[in-house]
Amino acid sequence: MDTKELLKKVRKIEIKTRRLSDHIFGGEYHSTFKGRGMTFSEVRQYQYGDDVRAIDWNVTARYNEPYIKVFEEERELTMMLMVDVSGSKLFGTKKQFKNEIATEISATLAFSALQNNDKIGLILFSDEIELFIPPKKGKSHVLRIIRELIEFEPKSRQTNISEALKFLSSVMKKKAIVFMLSDFIADEYEHTLKIVSKKHDVTGIRIYDEREMTIPNLGMVQMQDQESGAIKTINTSSKSVRRNYTRFHHEKAGYFEEMFKKSGSGVLSTRVDESYVKKLLGYFKNRA
């Protein structure tokens, strides 16, 4: 993709998602994700009417007159976007591919955080960490994140959600708002997710296509696994084949729902042909 085409795509996504964050999600994001509470600001002399419970007894004893601790709300937050860039992202039978929806959702969330003066970081992962952009503020930083989401070419086509979560734990020492976007056609991440969710505010956003849940009767069809690259001839006229296909994807979706809820994390699922705007807005309102 040449620079002119890339900038055109970035601008298109910016216009669409900036409008959503400005008019719809900005306020919902602010009310849903609170600051880290009250943080210590300073010590000053006690004044009439101050809460006696705020007296700093050590300083009071040192100066032989009452001093109190002053606290203020700490609003600044950090949002980490974790986006699955494995081979299965390039799947979509309707309006868009899964990676295109993931980019739009990520951009909408990033602009909502920007509106609240929060930091935004990005982790692109497959079965390894493909790219890490440390959290920063500013529009130019958000636009860089969007550019990477559009044009980044991963080294691997496999997926390992557990490894991505381990990396998050290693680089984020303070609490962050974490959105993980994937199709979650994976498992064995229960333990790591449980550990991460104790420290961070985690939400899993599952993006899927209708044809990943059910396969039509098309006779003998050649199919390619987007992650392994393997090509197989599948008899889609077989009821048992279609049933097993559906069961496999329902099990993965069920595992995702169960593990995220069990760990205390948020869950949201959206099909590529659905309005993610309604899904996100409903999620924010239910959490606020």
Mean pLDDT of all residues in 81-107: 83
**pLDDT confidence of residue 201:** 94
Distance CA(276)–CA(30), nearest Å, equals 19
53 and 166 in one domain?
Answer: no
User: Does residue 230 carry a pLDDT above 80?
Assistant: no
User: Residue 285 contacts by C-beta under 8 Å, 6 or more apart in sequence?
Assistant: 28
Give 97's pLDDT tier (boundaries 50, 70, 90). Answer: confident
Domain boundary among 23, 52, 74: 74
Most confident of 4-8, 92-96, 111-115, 169-173: 169-173
User: Does residue 171 carry a pLDDT above 90?
Assistant: yes
89 and 191 in one domain?
Answer: yes
Cα distances (Å, whole numbers) of residue 125 to 50, 82, 156: 51, 7, 9
Distance CA(206)–CA(225), nearest Å, equals 19
Mean pLDDT of all residues in 172-196: 94
238 and 147 in one domain?
Answer: yes
**What's the chain's average pLDDT?**
87
Mean pLDDT of all residues in 5-33: 79
| CB distance 203 to 109 below 8 Å | no
Question: Which domain, by its residues, includes 231?
Answer: 3-33+76-287
158 and 62 in one domain?
Answer: no
| CB distance 103 to 13 below 8 Å | yes
Mean pLDDT of all residues in 26-40: 67
**pLDDT confidence of residue 24:** 67
Give me the CATH number covering residue 186.
Answer: 3.40.50.410
User: Does residue 88 carry a pLDDT above 90?
Assistant: no
Cα distances (Å, whole numbers) of residue 118 to 100, 177, 241: 24, 10, 48
66 and 139 in one domain?
Answer: no
Q: Which residue has the higher pLDDT, 286 or 2?
A: 286
Torsion of CA 119, 125, 128, 129, to 10 degrees: -20
User: Does residue 73 carry a pLDDT above 60?
Assistant: no
Distance CA(18)–CA(11), nearest Å, equals 10
pTM: 0.81
Least confident of 80-84, 191-195, 205-209, 216-220: 216-220
51 and 123 in one domain?
Answer: no
Mean pLDDT of all residues in 70-98: 77
Distance CA(266)–CA(197), nearest Å, equals 10
| CB distance 284 to 25 below 8 Å | yes
Domain boundary among 47, 74, 101: 74
53 and 152 in one domain?
Answer: no
User: Does residue 92 carry a pLDDT above 60?
Assistant: no
Per the listing, tokens 């077989």 go with 238
**pLDDT confidence of residue 135:** 96
User: Does residue 52 carry a pLDDT above 90?
Assistant: no
Angle at CA of residue 251, ends 249 and 257, nearest 5°? 105
% of the chain with per-residue pLDDT over 90: 48
148 and 258 in one domain?
Answer: yes
93 and 54 in one domain?
Answer: no
Mean pLDDT of all residues in 78-87: 94
Cα 102 → chain centroid:
9
150 and 136 in one domain?
Answer: yes
**pLDDT confidence of residue 125:** 97
| CB distance 183 to 206 below 8 Å | yes
Domain count across the chain: 2
68 and 17 in one domain?
Answer: no
Two tokens, residue 89 = 């992202």
User: Does residue 45 carry a pLDDT above 70?
Assistant: yes
User: Does residue 1 carry a pLDDT above 90?
Assistant: no
User: Does residue 31 carry a pLDDT above 80?
Assistant: no
203 and 69 in one domain?
Answer: no
Domain boundary among 74, 99, 133: 74
**pLDDT confidence of residue 226:** 66
